[in-house]
């Protein structure tokens, strides 16, 4: 199982890339285009900052 820092980093990368890819659709779709990527990016930041691994 991955640590919280690794999971957070993956969330930041995936959420950030998805967010940037969907920025061109904001004019047509509004917040719907960027809602999920922002959620993944935000949770990735939270996990990365939390960082300590309690599972060992």
Q: Give CA–CA dist 30/49, Å, rounded.
A: 29
Instruction: List the chain pLDDT tens, one digit each, 56 residues.
Output: 778 888 999 999 999 999 999 988 888 888 888 899 999 999 999 999 987 755 54
What are the residue boundaries of the structural domains of the chain, listed by start?
4-50
| Cα angle 7, 21, 2; round to 5 | 10
């Amino acid at each position: 199982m991955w640590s919280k820092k690794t999971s957070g980093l993956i969330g930041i990368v995936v959420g950030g890339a998805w967010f940037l890819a969907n920025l061109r659709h904001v004019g047509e779709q509004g917040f719907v285009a960027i809602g999920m990527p922002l959620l993944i990016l935000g949770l990735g930041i939270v996990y990365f900052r939390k960082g300590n691994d309690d599972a060992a």
